[in-house]
Amino acid sequence: MLDLYKQQTKCLVALDSIIFGFDGEELKLLLVKRGVQTDRATWSLMGGWLKSTESLDEGADRILFELTGLAGVFLEQLCAFGDPQRDPVERTVSVAYYALVNVKDYETKISDTHQAQWFSMHDLPELLFDHREMIKKAIERLRYKAAFHPVGFELMPETFTIPQIQNLYEAIYGSNFDKRNFSRKILSTGLLIKLKEKQKGFSKKGAFLYKLDNDKYKTHTDAFLNFVPNPDGFI
């Protein structure tokens, strides 16, 4: 038995995170500038190596924290990528994660030391290795997930307006929704608490602010909004 282990070739294991953000208008992706580039692509997903003492989830958390200072955000495994040629330097299996953060949270944390930058999903730079493929899978997964679980709120700031959430969902699915139907749908989850204040400054009239009912949200696992995963989109 133990011999079966010894003969086997080992492999580097990397963790890469697709970090989605939302600024109230557009769906964005956080990319980092490679210190030293291996080829002409200078931007890549946030990533690092798996340590021998940590699980995959722990490693992904750690790397996200080291590079952005963010902790406790939505971070879920996407899948593993292991083409033998995907990293030309050495055979590497990468386990990809996707994270949802709101851009405002992130801006208040450190960074810049790591040369991180938000990119519009519609305007991504050339990317390292198979990172583009990872992003493609991640957006598919996000659409799939968001159709049944209210993960969209992970991307919103503490308080937000209905038109903002609608912008987010439109950005995720790359299509427009009727605002009457949308607000009915989103309110019917019972997960939103309407606040007294209005958001001012953006529109003339101002929109009512809402916050997430965290207790309900935490225990909420049911099927949800019926957005149809959209085959086309960015990418």
Partner DNA sequence: ACAAAAGTGTTGGAACTACACCCATGT
Partner DNA sequence: ACATGGGTGTAGTTCCAACACTTTTGT
Chain residues that interact with its own copies, rule: CB under 8 A: 1-2, 4-5, 8-13, 35-36, 38, 49-56, 59, 77, 79-84, 89-91, 93, 95, 148, 221, 223, 228-229, 231
Per CB under 7 A, the list member of 73, 127, 162, 191 interacting with DNA is 162
Minimum CB distance to its own copies smaller for 60 or for 101: 60
Q: Which of 174, 194, 132 has its CA nearest to residue 27?
A: 174
Position 134, amino acid: M
Distances (CA, A) of 191 to 19, 75, 100, 120, 149: 24, 21, 18, 28, 12
Q: List all residues 6 or more positions away from 184 whose beta carbon is below 8 Å from its beta carbon.
A: none
Q: Are 89 and 38 in contact (CB under 8 A)?
A: yes
Cα separation, 60 vs 16, whole angstroms: 7
Q: Which of 13, 78, 82, 17 has its CA nearest to residue 46?
A: 17
Q: Are 83 and 130 in contact (CB under 8 A)?
A: yes
Minimum CB distance to its own copies smaller for 37 or for 203: 37
Show contacts with DNA in window 173-192 (CB under 7 A): 178-181, 183-185
229 is a site residue for DNA (CB under 7 A)? no
Minimum CB distance to its own copies smaller for 55 or for 115: 55
206 is a site residue for DNA (CB under 7 A)? yes
9 binds, among DNA, its own copies, none (CB under 5 to 8 A by kind): its own copies
151 binds, among its own copies, DNA, none (CB under 5 to 8 A by kind): none
Q: Which residues bind DNA (CB under 7 A)?
A: 161-163, 178-181, 183-185, 198, 200, 202-208, 226
